[in-house]
Structures are given as structure tokens and as C-alpha cells.
């Protein structure tokens, strides 16, 4: 008998979340094992409210479109899974005779997947990793991260060249990137330095290290005594030693981290240091023009692998990418880990990748290798930077202390 299978996109979207869905649908269609292929709408909320759309029979053109567009065509978002709501999920899966369920998301989604697997033992549950934050255990990196990292590298490089041009007017620029609890995205700003050799060192502040305001000011002063300008990259979630966020704001009834760059830039101006802030914002996870092709292919790969793993009778597992680069051959296999070993956990940036206020070159090399492609216009950026940097040697900027 043919089975009914369903998929859920949950949490925050990425540039390649729909690509995982496309891979899943292509593999489901070719397996001929399924009667209905359903998509629950709006993430966990759709599972609870029994909101579905039929996905069998999509055309090749529709599947190809999914592979290249950001967002979540099913709707994603956040919705708490309480014990009462969990019971409704089980009832809805039983009502629709769904025997296999795939959830695509981050650590919160994997926690929900584990809860559903425990409450609905007759349903096979498989998780596909998805997060720009790259904070999931059980996978070398997560689909979504490489594209966001590439975007950040290109954005930081562009802002660095702009700051260099304005260094007689603006001394410090503070750039805020996403990352509530971990700094993988902020660390990606180090990619900018690969095509700007000898650019004044960038400073990085990640949630992995407690933030000290006075120490920050001291480092800014020391830097500006040696260099004409400074670019600072901060994670939105940097916190003080007591655990409180440097800055936050409210969305509805929820407080979320953000505003650190604006606050720090304002404090610098109060101290007489010309500064402004930039927030890269949601474009980090939603851009279409800077998607990393390997990221897209890995997302498609894991979507297809989910069908194969379910066919083998596996359940209560999350798929993952191995440390070795996947070649996407027919016999390529994803690794998998028990949901309980990753559910709700966060993976910080490894200490070996961090210095006191910077990123170790080994991290940048690791990230470049995973991306498998350079930043856009890397060669022209290098040539422009070399030409611009000649001005400093021929007409030095006044570096006297303030």
C-alpha cells in the first residue's frame, strides 16, 4: 500500500530552505511509494491547526523555481509546542493517515521533532537541518549558513571600502549581523579580509565572549592611534558579563536582541569619535543574488536523502553533512544522528577559531573551503584596494590621538 508523507518548514527562512523542499519532492515523486505528499503550512502551527496543501504533481518548472527562491513556500515561523498542542499534532497525523513526517529547521524544530517522535511512535520522523546561524550539532554545517556567510563577506568588504573612502569624516563603523546566541555569522565577516590584504584589522565581537564596554573603547582608541579607520562587526546577541544583552527591542510581546551597533556607535560619538552604524538585517537570510551554489546543492541533497532514509525504516534522526565535501554522486550519503542528541542544543563557534577581538585565519580558510567559491568580484576588489591603499603611503592620514 502507498503511504502518506508530509513535510514542515519551520523557524526562520533561509535562501535555500525551499531547495530542500524541492529535493524532497523530487525524490518522493520518483520513489512511487506515496499516495499523498502533503505540506503543513506555517511551520509547527500548521501541524497543530491541521493546515495542509497538496504537493504531489508539481511540475519540473515549479520544482526548479523552488530551488532558486528564498523564503518558505509553505510558510514557516515560530509557534510554541505545548503538551496540549502536541496531542493535537498526533491526532492530525492520524486523521490524515500520515506515516512519515519530515521537519526542516533549526535546533528548536529538532526539539519539536523529538517531542512528536516520542508522542507519535507509529510515525517515522526525520529532521533536515536548516539555519543561517549554523548552531546545530550533528552536522558539519547547516544549509542556509554558507549563503548567509557569503552575503556577509561581500557586504562587509563593500562597507570596508566605503569606510576607507570616508576615513577623513568617519573613523569607526559598527556593523551588526544576525546571531542571538552564537557568532558563526559575525565570524563570516572575516571573508572580507581575503581580498583586502593589509586593510586595517577588523574587530569582531561575538556572543561566545562576554562584552566589556570600557575594554571596547580602549581597543578602539589603541586601533585609531595606529590606523586611520576601524570597521567593527558585532553579533546582535552580544551580552555583558552578567548575561544581559547589550541591546534589545520588542516585537509584539517578545524581546529580541538587536540594536547593539547603533548603541555602540552612539557611545563612540559621545566620546568624540566620528562613527555610524549599519545593520545588515533580514537580507542576510533572504537574498537571492549572493547564494552559494554549494549551499543550494547541499540543501537539495539533504531533501532527497530524507526519502532514502525513510525508505530504510529510519526514524527519530536528523540528517547531517559530513566534514568531507559531498560530491552529490548517486552513492553519496548523508550522516545521521539521533534527534535527542541535537534537540534544543546550540553549537558555539569553536574556541580555536577565536582571538581576543578577532577571527583566527583557520576559520576563514575552513569557511572558504566549505563555500567552494570566492566572493563576487574578488579580483576587482583586490585591484581597487591596492590602488586606494597607495594613497596612505603617499599622503598619510593624520593619526594623532584625539
**Could you tell me which residues are annotated as the binding site for Mg(2+)?**
107
Question: What's the rounded Cα separation, in Å, for the pair 255 and 240?
Answer: 17
How many Å apart are CA 204 and CA 310, to the nearest integer? 42
The helix/strand/coil state of 393 is helix
* CA dihedral (192, 193, 195, 199) positive or negative: positive
**Beta strand 34-40 pairing with 52-54:** antiparallel
The strand pair at 317-320 and 335-338 is best described as antiparallel
- φ, ψ for residue 227 (rounded to 5)? -135, 155
Q: How many residues belong to the chain? A: 402
Where residue 377 falls (left for φ over 0; alpha for ψ -120 to 50; beta otherwise) is left
CA dihedral defined by 64, 69, 71, 76, rounded to 10 degrees? 0
Q: What gap in Å lies between CA 194 and CA 191, rounded to an integer? A: 6
The residue to which cell 569557511 is assigned: 367
**What gap in Å lies between CA 189 and CA 149, rounded to an integer?**
7
* Sign of the Cα pseudo-torsion (96, 19, 295, 312, in order): positive
- Positions at the binding site for substrate: 131-133, 178-180, 236
d(CA 153, CA 199): 14
Catalytic center residues: 133
Q: At what angle do helices 17-31 and 293-311 cross, to 10 degrees?
A: 40
> Cα separation of 354 and 183, whole Å?
10
Contact 246, 239 (CB under 8 A): yes
Q: Which residues are annotated as a binding site for diphosphate?
A: 12
Contacts of 80 (CB under 8 A, 6+ apart): 44
Amino acid at each position: 500500500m502507498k503511504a502518506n508523507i508530509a513535510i514542515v518548514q519551520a523557524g526562520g527562512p533561509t535562501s535555500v530552505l525551499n531547495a530542500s523542499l524541492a529535493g524532497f519532492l523530487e525524490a518522493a515523486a520518483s520513489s512511487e511509494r506515496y499516495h499523498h505528499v502533503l505540506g503543513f503550512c506555517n511551520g509547527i502551527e500548521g501541524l497543530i491547526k491541521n493546515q495542509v496543501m497538496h504537493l504531489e504533481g508539481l511540475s519540473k518548472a515549479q520544482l526548479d523555481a523552488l530551488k532558486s527562491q528564498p523564503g518558505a513556500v509553505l510558510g514557516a515561523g515560530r509557534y510554541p509546542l505545548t503538551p496540549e498542542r502536541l496531542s493535537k499534532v498526533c491526532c492530525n497525523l492520524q486523521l490524515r493517515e500520515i506515516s512519515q513526517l519530515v521537519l526542516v529547521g533549526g535546533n528548536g524544530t529538532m526539539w519539536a521533532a523529538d517531542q512528536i517522535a516520542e508522542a507519535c511512535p507509529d510515525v517515522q520522523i526525520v529532521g533536515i537541518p536548516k539555519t543561517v546561524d549554523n548552531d546545530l550539532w550533528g552536522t558539519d554545517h547547516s544549509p542556509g549558513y554558507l549563503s548567509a556567510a557569503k552575503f556577509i563577506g561581500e557586504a562587509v568588504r563593500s562597507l570596508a571600502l566605503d569606510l576607507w573612502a570616508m576615513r577623513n569624516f568617519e573613523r569607526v563603523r559598527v556593523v551588526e549581523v544576525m546571531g542571538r546566541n552564537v557568532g558563526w555569522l559575525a565570524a563570516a565577516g572575516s571573508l572580507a579580509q581575503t581580498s583586502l590584504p593589509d586593510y586595517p584589522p577588523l574587530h569582531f565581537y561575538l556572543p561566545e565572549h562576554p562584552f566589556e564596554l570600557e575594554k571596547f573603547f580602549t581597543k578602539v582608541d589603541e586601533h585609531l592611534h595606529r590606523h586611520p579607520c576601524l570597521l567593527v562587526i558585532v553579533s546582535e546577541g552580544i551580552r555583558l558579563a552578567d548575561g544581559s544583552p547589550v541591546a534589545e527591542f520588542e516585537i509584539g510581546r517578545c524581546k529580541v536582541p538587536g540594536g547593539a551597533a547603533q548603541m555602540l556607535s552612539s557611545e563612540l560619538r559621545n566620546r568624540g569619535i566620528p562613527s555610524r552604524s549599519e545593520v545588515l538585517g533580514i537580507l542576510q537570510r533572504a537574498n537571492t543574488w549572493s547564494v552559494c551554489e554549494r549551499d543550494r546543492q547541499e540543501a537539495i541533497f539533504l531533501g532527497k536523502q530524507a526519502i532514502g532514509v525513510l525508505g530504510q525504516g529510519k526514524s527519530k534522526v536528523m540528517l547531517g553533512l559530513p566534514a568531507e565535501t559531498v560530491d552529490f554522486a548517486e552513492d553519496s550519503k548523508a550522516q545521521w544522528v539521533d534527534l535527542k542528541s541535537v534537540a534544543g542544543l546550540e553549537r558555539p563557534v569553536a574556541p580555536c577559531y577565536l582571538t581576543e577581538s578577532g577571527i583566527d585565519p583557520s576559520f576563514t580558510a575552513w569557511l572558504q573551503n566549505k563555500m567552494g567559491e570566492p566572493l563576487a568580484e574578488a579580483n576587482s576588489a583586490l585591484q581597487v584596494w591596492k590602488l586606494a591603499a597607495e594613497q596612505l603611503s603617499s599622503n598619510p592620514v593624520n593619526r594623532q590621538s584625539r
